[in-house]
Amino acid sequence: MFPGGKGANQAVAAARLGADVSMIGCLGDDDFGKHFLRLMHEEGINTTGIVVDKSTGTGVSGPVVEDNGDNSIIIVPRANYHLQVAGSSP
Q: What is the CATH number of the domain that holds 53?
A: 3.40.1190.30
Judge whether residue 73 has pLDDT over 90: yes
Rounded Cα distance, 46 and 52, in Å:
14
Q: Is residue 17 part of a domain?
A: yes
Residue 71 has pLDDT above 70, yes or no: yes
What confidence score (pLDDT) does residue 89 get?
A: 65
CB 25 within 8 A of CB 53: no
Give the count of domains, the chain: 1
What is the pLDDT, as a whole number, of residue 3?
86
pTM value?
0.85
- Give domain status of residue 29, yes or no: yes
User: What integer pLDDT is reported at residue 20 of this predicted model?
Assistant: 98
44 C-beta neighbours (distance < 10 Å), count: 13
- Among 3-7, 38-42, 62-66, 75-79, where is mean pLDDT lowest? 3-7
Q: Domain residues for 17?
A: 6-82
**pLDDT at residue 86 tops 80:** no
